[in-house]
Structure 1
Amino acid sequence: MFHPKESSMTSTAPRTPHDPPAGPSAGPAVALSDVHKAYGATRAVDGVSLTVERGEFFGLLGPNGAGKTTLVEIMEGQRRADSGTVAVLGESPWPRNTALLPRLGVQTQASSFFVRLTAREHLATMAALYRCDSAAAERALASVGLTEQGGTRVDDLSGGQRQRLAIASALVHDPELIFLDEPTASLDPQARRSLWQVLRDLKGRGRTIVYTTHHLDEAEALCDRVAIMVAGRVAALDSPGRLIAAAGPTTRLLVPADRLTPEQARAMEGVDRVTEEGGSLVLETLAAGRVLAAVDAIAGLQGVQTRTASLEDVYLDLTGAGAADAPRP
């Protein structure tokens, strides 16, 4: 949370969402070069180099313990890298850079709140710390769909509503660079999709978003590029579309198990592998059209599902058995 004592170095003029971003506009939003961070014998971050361009929606993916949180905390200036170089909006975030703090928005999974205040009062307090205009709290409430709960005390909000309030707290001062850690973790499907539009709108306004999530469909839908971390290293870095295309052209056909036997499936020309999944036979093939025609001739196509590769397939391949030994990119 931004400390009021630190805010004394910022301008006293109220900030509005129409103000242009402060500071130099050239160069990437984040630039990391050969960054290392160890805790004893554990290499939490092991030689990470990457850039996040201004206006980019950048996803940081990986299993628990892959080093994502440590890397993000280094970007935010909460932790010091053991070695390597770190630049955020053209400046070093460490030692704690008070001039940089108002340009950053941070939402964490374990956010702190003024729990005895209402949601609106909490955001008004946050806005005052950043010397924002008086309407900032109301805009932030509306941006995450909490206007109707603005008069509810924070400690009476549901878990999902608190999650949205945490995101509003990160957005209230209209930062240039926003760090979001599992922002939709506690949201129901409808609220989750609503927040997707909030994030797209922020990107449309030129804001840069660095985003961690375990919802791979979400990363595939929202992110311009993603970095998949394994054991402190970046195992893959590209757009979701290019990562998926590189994963291979295999198609999986899911056929209701009562319509086709495994023996019939294996006998079809073009079927490379047959497995069982739930109540379906899964036929893997590089010749989907030919196999679909064969399935239609035997069992019909009603209830048959076709699945191509997804970001989840890429992720599971990289983070599965042996992934820890994958070479650096």
Structure 2
Amino acid sequence: MHTTSVALSKRFIRSLATQVQSAPKDGRDFVRYLEYLKTSKDMRPLLYRPTNAAKLLTMDLGGGVIPTPRDPIQLPSVLSYAHLLGQMESAEQLQKHFVELRQVHKKALWEHLSAQHLEHMLLRATFGLRCFGPTLTAVYQMKPLFARAKNVDAYDVDHLFNMILTCRLHTNSLLQNVDPAIAVKKVAMSWDNTSARQTSTGLSAELLAALSKQVGAEIPVPAELKVPVTLPSIDLSSCSMGKAAAFVSAHRILYLQARTATTFGSTNEAVMTFVSSYKAALERTGRPDFYDLCVAELAPKEEP
């Protein structure tokens, strides 16, 4: 890979964590959480309670193996999970991770995972590892596990459905021909898998219209998504640098989705205003443009 491409990939992976300065340095928190869930209930108090550390060191599990005390477990943040995904270097590694997740039949895990976790799966798969299709299939396959934990609301509109549409627009743009009938069926399947169907942004209709234009077929907009576009705003003339930076961090993925809509044909005034405001905030803070980084990851890599 060309040196420039390597540097770009590193910048992209670093940007996968939203508030970089306050985020965990890697995905160890999530890995430790999975390890905790896999540990038998009898061993958890011994391994994870500091008061049992001395007792644990006197135990022998056979073969001279002495168990090591663990730090107390806290629920890992979405940022920790984003870091874990960012450290994955291949589609195969990501698919192995999904297999590992599905093998954890613990209600606590599937209660903890959210729409934001699913959103980050698709984000990393599409713009980092180029395996959108298999990853979307894996997301669909996980839904029964979410359902058993009574957490199907993780399959929502504003995070998951909109990210699916965003990723599909970009992956379609790399293909020479997209079958309109198949494109319509794929959107219908995504909508059928959407459980929480309310939207707070109204962006879905714009993404669907852009996809209709791209594939040359009319894609119906569900009634639940026919709402006015409402996106965040900021007055950069009066806000502090800290508030501008917080705005950039908080709405990075929303910006990716909104700018995708405008790139592929949306002329909605509210969407265009948000994109313009976000770009101005990027310029004010000196942050890299997350949309540009994502699109660059889709471009063919230069050979050495």
Length-normalised TM-score, structure 2: 0.28
Compare the two structures and name the one with the higher strand fraction.
Answer: 1
| Larger CA Rg, structure 1 vs 2 | 1
Compare the two structures and name the one with the higher helix fraction.
Answer: 2
Length-normalised TM-score, structure 1: 0.27
